Amino acid sequence: MTPILEVSNLSKTFKTFKAVDGLSFAIGKGEVYGFLGQNGAGKSTTMRMALGLIFPDSGSIFINGSEFNNSHRHLLRSIGAIIERPDMYGYLSGWENLKIFAALSGTKVSAARLHEVLDIVGLKGREKDKVSAYSQGMKQRLGIAVAMAHQPELLILDEPTNGLDPQGIAEMRSLIISLSKDHGKTIMISSHLLHEIEQVATNMLILHKGKKISEGPVHQLLNPDDTLTEVTILPNEGLGAQLASSAWTQYADHVSAERLVFRMNPTRIPDLNKWLVEAGAQVQSISSKHSFETYFLNITSDAAAAHRVI
């Protein structure tokens, strides 16, 4: 099946800063594609290139199998996008904003469709209110309604949870899942937060310093059996020998007198804790972190400090 969006060997440099470096990936129809990386990793730059807002120094972009360039801007009709925060007219109502921006899409959009997208994003009943009275979460959802009005195949959402409170983040997460499952949308979503991407995405790419570091289905990259569980105990020199002769040795990743690390599904933690206590260990703490999260934090820990946001 032809990818809805494909980029090949894409590169972009701003003066001496290489924002995107030989990037290639493809998004299949029906996917929720997580674009993960710290601020300055090149996520927004890549999305802007995919939308023709800036042009790459080299590489190619294909939309539904056709190469996209300045003379093929009609291909963008199959894409709706929010890059950073949506800019709306605060003195106008949500409905008036939606009508104006829908008209700019170049596609005739009926009033019935506008009502439909307002309902989808949860703004039905608030469409007559001025946008200046909207919460940030409501503005984000109105932005998605604008992006969806002309019925695009692909939605590109750049950090859609930025600036939202916990309730707004939960609402946005639920909306993205609904757009995919209930409305059949293909979605490309960027974030610098792994736990946000893992809850909504089917596939994921990690971008670091403009380069692709890792890519694959989320269920493979975030296999629960690959979770790291760290146990700190009061010094116990004899515990290592007991562990080596037990069934738990198959999960042991690191063993010392004061610290144990196991690679296993977190559902095993209660049984592990029980065994440790019965073996005479004085457990101080147990914490788990997916090894992929550790990997992501390790490779991106310097990104925010080393790069400006693009």
The pLDDT tens digits of the residues spanning 1-51 come to: 899 999 999 999 999 999 999 999 999 999 999 999 988 899 999 999 999
Name the domain boundary from 215, 249, 269.
215
Bigger pLDDT: 306 vs 288: 288
Last residue of a domain, one of 181, 215, 249: 215
Is 10 in the same domain as 47?
yes
Are 204 and 197 in contact by the 8 Å Cβ rule? The answer is yes
Residue 203 belongs to some domain of the structure: yes
Is residue 299's pLDDT more than 80? no
Q: What is the mean pLDDT of the chain?
A: 91
Domain residues for 38? 5-88+148-215
Domain co-membership, 277 together with 199: no
| Whole-number pLDDT of residue 247 | 95
Same domain assignment for residues 168 and 281: no
What single DSSP character describes residue 128?
A: T
The predicted-structure confidence for 146-180, as pLDDT tens digits, reads as follows: 999 999 999 999 999 988 999 999 999 999 999 99
173 in the same domain as 76: yes
The whole-number pLDDT of residue 301 equals: 66
Other CB atoms within a 10 A radius of the CB of residue 257 amount to 13
Asked whether residue 306 carries a pLDDT value surpassing 70, the answer given is no
Is position 108 within any domain? no
Residue (of 85, 126, 89, 124) closest to 104 by Cα position: 89
In a domain, 206, yes or no: yes
Instruction: Classify residue 150 by burial, with Cβ atoms within 10 Å: 0-12, 13-18, 19+.
Output: buried
pLDDT band at 305 (very low <50, low <70, confident <90, very high): very low
Does pLDDT of 309 surpass 80? no
The burial class, CB within 10 Å (0-12 / 13-18 / 19+), for 240 is middle
- Give per-residue pLDDT as tens, 245-275: 999 999 999 999 999 999 999 999 999 999 9
Pairing label, strands 17-27, 5-14? antiparallel
Q: Distance of alpha carbon 190 from its chain centroid, rounded?
A: 4
Instruction: Say if residue 65 is exposed, middle or buried (CB neighbours under 10 Å; 0-12, 13-18, 19+).
Output: exposed
**Which CATH number fits the domain that encloses residue 172?**
3.40.50.300
